Amino acid sequence: MTVPATPGPTGPVASPSGLDPASLDPASLDPADVGLLAPVWASPSVAAPTGDAALVAAMADLEACWAEALEAAGLAGRGAGAAVRSAVRTAVGSPDGPLSAARLAEAGQGGGNPVIPLVKALRAAVADADPDGPGKGAVHQGLTSQDVLDSALQLVARRAVVAVAADLAGAADALADLAAQHRDTPQVARTLAQHSLPSSFGLKAANWLQGVAHAEARLAELRFPVQCGGAAGTNASLVALGAEPATLAADWARRAGLDAAVAPWQSFRGPVTDLAHALAAACTAAGHVANDVMLLSRPEIGELGEPLAAGRGVSSAMPQKQNPALSTLIRSAALQAPAHAAQVELAAALSEDERTGGAWHTEWPALRTLLRLTSGAAAALRELAEGLRVFPERMRANLALSGPLLTSERIMLELAPVADGGREGVQSAVDAAIGAAGDGAGPDEQARVLREALRGVVRPDQVSEERLDELLDPAGYRGDAAGIVDRILAYYEATVAQRREPLRGQLPRV
């Protein structure tokens, strides 16, 4: 039977409401991306500090700081810094002003970056305020676009990283409390999605803690250097002005709230790749926690539950559901972050000459997305860790599902040397219990079968009844789990200051 082909659409398809999408005037739509399809960073507290307006404010602030540094070095007239600063304060934040993000974004297509129209608009604003004043000549004097944009991204990143580090610190402290509280709470360890050996929830929380604390430490190691190299990385114009470039750049960094750089880094992208990888590592650590919580909160497992909040985890169709919303948001960030970090690394790998075309430009959105994903994931992780609900009874019940078979490793180690047939004899006893489990026997029946089979190869004078009871008790075979928890917690407490002092109080001015 031949099915006639269905003709394709010949024009725009109207929605059921009768609205023709093609009839909409693009100019009437809000162009802002507020995270509609990226709920992990849709909160204003995450989106705003990394948004276009924040980047414009950072670039303008850096231009004002530069004019102030030029004046302090005697390279600009008295009042130049104040004039530029005044123009910045007047222009930044106005949606219809000369430094509006929308205007700069459109105008930036002409030169390939937003700094060029920003400088033009700022010079005009300074001249309008005082045509004969010293400010106009100080705007951007001796800088190049990459100096301002790279430094502005570092400034935005520093603000975001301070907030991320604070949330990671809160999450880590909560995980440390969970590890200490549940140091001896029995829980089955799972490997390749199957029950493996007895363990404790305290050890699981401590392992989460290791990842989060490590990510926190990587963020603390970051530096946020100012970029100051001029047109080709030689600072030739500053030398021509009679400046000492390194000293002037260090003063610029101090005024802006950035770190002084050893040298210009416009063709060396280490500061950017280090930042990208530290952010991705934070998402990875958060993702590990979220993955486990999502799995262990399944109704058939029921060992953990996310914190409850009105409207959280609801379903549009099934009112009985309580979805793991926080874990879902965190996991979405963890799955996206590595690709953006790879994009930053790829841009660095394809950097050529003293300034690259195209590769440099791909860093900007990748880096901002990483900042947003990590900020949102860290905030969600903190809430998740601080409010995580733990159900020890379900952990014990699930541990019992595999019964004494969980102690097979221990049984083999201790009984093989004395059993008839050695390892093969013990294995035959374990196989009998596995067979019973495969036939639907519960933990008690498995234990009975295993005990009888072991008694067939191990005499009472070799292993007493009491000792055999101990060997078959899963709760008694947790190895050094408690000791590992103690060592992780001790190291965590000993290194708290090392992780947190570098970023404490480091928020630069808006």
Average pLDDT over residues 457-482: 89
Residue with tokens 């790279």: 150
Residue with tokens 């013990």: 426
The DSSP bridge partners found for residue 225 are: 259
pLDDT in tens, 26-37: 666 677 788 888
CB atoms inside a 10 Å sphere around CB 510: 11
pLDDT band at 12 (very low <50, low <70, confident <90, very high): very low
What's the number of CA atoms in the CB half-sphere (13 Å) around residue 220? 20
Q: Above 90 in pLDDT, residue 73?
A: yes
CA distances from 23 to 10, 32, 214, 321 (A): 16, 20, 52, 40
| Catalytic option among 355, 394, 396, 455 | 355
Q: What 3 state SS string does 108-140 have? A: CCCCCCCHHHHHHHHHHHHHHHCCCCCHHHHCC
User: Which residue in 471, 288, 272, 273 sits closest to 377, CA to CA?
Assistant: 288
Rounded to an integer, what distance in angstroms lies between the CA atom of residue 54 and that of residue 159? 10
| Catalytic option among 315, 389, 487, 504 | 315
Average pLDDT over residues 8-24: 54
pLDDT band at 317 (very low <50, low <70, confident <90, very high): low
Average pLDDT over residues 218-245: 95
CA distances from 423 to 412, 427, 430, 469, 503 (A): 7, 6, 10, 20, 56
User: Which alpha helices (DSSP H) does 298-358 contain, by range?
Assistant: 325-349
- 86 annotated active-site: no
The DSSP bridge partners found for residue 111 are: none
Rounded to an integer, what distance in angstroms lies between the CA atom of residue 141 and that of residue 66? 8
Rounded to an integer, what distance in angstroms lies between the CA atom of residue 276 and that of residue 264? 19
Angle at 14 between CA 11 and CA 18, to 5 degrees: 145
Angle at 422 between CA 418 and CA 423, to 5 degrees: 125
Q: What class is the 39-142+237-264 domain?
A: mainly alpha
pLDDT in tens, 233-251: 999 999 999 999 999 999 9
For residue 301, give every residue at least 6 positions away whose Cβ sits within 8 Å of its Cβ, in sequence order, or none. 295, 394, 398
Rounded to an integer, what distance in angstroms lies between the CA atom of residue 182 and that of residue 176? 10
Quick one: pLDDT at residue 320?
59
What residue type is 155 in one-letter code? Answer: L
Please, are residues 396 and 478 in contact by the beta-carbon 8 Å criterion?
no
Quick one: pLDDT at residue 208?
98
Rounded to an integer, what distance in angstroms lies between the CA atom of residue 484 and that of residue 497? 22
pLDDT band at 24 (very low <50, low <70, confident <90, very high): low
What is the distance of C-alpha 388 from the center of its chain?
Answer: 19
User: Which residue in 207, 178, 202, 293 sits closest to 478, CA to CA?
Assistant: 202
Quick one: pLDDT at residue 406?
84
Q: Above 80 in pLDDT, residue 8?
A: no
Rounded to 10°, the helix 115-129/80-91 angle is 110
Quick one: pLDDT at residue 140?
96
Q: Above 90 in pLDDT, residue 440?
A: no
Q: What percent of the chain has pLDDT over 90?
A: 69
Please, are residues 286 and 334 in contact by the beta-carbon 8 Å criterion?
yes
What's the number of CA atoms in the CB half-sphere (13 Å) around residue 349? 6
Q: Above 60 in pLDDT, residue 507?
A: no
Least confident of 85-94, 96-105, 314-323: 314-323
Quick one: pLDDT at residue 505?
55
pLDDT band at 21 (very low <50, low <70, confident <90, very high): low
Phi, psi of 143 (to 5 degrees): -100, 170
Quick one: pLDDT at residue 44?
86
Quick one: pLDDT at residue 318?
61
Phi, psi of 235 (to 5 degrees): 55, 35
Average pLDDT over residues 348-371: 93
Please, are residues 124 and 91 in contact by the beta-carbon 8 Å criterion?
no
Quick one: pLDDT at residue 509?
41
Quick one: pLDDT at residue 23?
65
Average pLDDT over residues 210-218: 97
Rounded to an integer, what distance in angstroms lies between the CA atom of residue 276 and that of residue 259? 18
pLDDT in tens, 158-209: 999 999 999 999 999 999 999 999 999 999 999 999 998 999 999 999 999 9
Q: For the CA atoms of 304, 308, 311, 312, what is the dihedral angle to 10 degrees?
A: -40
Quick one: pLDDT at residue 333?
97
The DSSP bridge partners found for residue 259 are: 225
Quick one: pLDDT at residue 315?
58
Architecture of the domain spanning 146-227+265-392 = Up-down Bundle (1.20)
Highest-pLDDT range among 136-150, 304-318, 441-455, 462-476: 136-150
User: Which alpha helices (DSSP H) does 183-305 contain, by range?
Assistant: 201-220, 236-240, 245-256, 270-296
Residue 164 in 3-state DSSP?
Answer: helix
Quick one: pLDDT at residue 93?
78
CB atoms inside a 10 Å sphere around CB 23: 8
Tell me the whole-structure pTM to 2 decimals: 0.89
User: Which residue in 287, 274, 284, 283 sits closest to 363, CA to CA?
Assistant: 274
User: Which residue in 360, 70, 74 sits closest to 233, CA to CA?
Assistant: 360
Query: What's the mean per-residue pLDDT of the chain?
Result: 90
pLDDT in tens, 128-160: 999 989 998 999 999 999 999 999 999 999 999
Please, are residues 448 and 433 in contact by the beta-carbon 8 Å criterion?
no
Rounded to an integer, what distance in angstroms lies between the CA atom of residue 9 and that of residue 11? 6
For residue 160, give every residue at least 6 positions away whose Cβ sits within 8 Å of its Cβ, in sequence order, or none. 49, 50, 371, 374, 375
- 408 annotated active-site: no
Quick one: pLDDT at residue 356?
86
Quick one: pLDDT at residue 215?
97
Average pLDDT over residues 438-450: 86
Q: Above 80 in pLDDT, residue 224?
A: yes
Q: For the CA atoms of 356, 358, 362, 365, what is the dihedral angle to 10 degrees?
A: 110
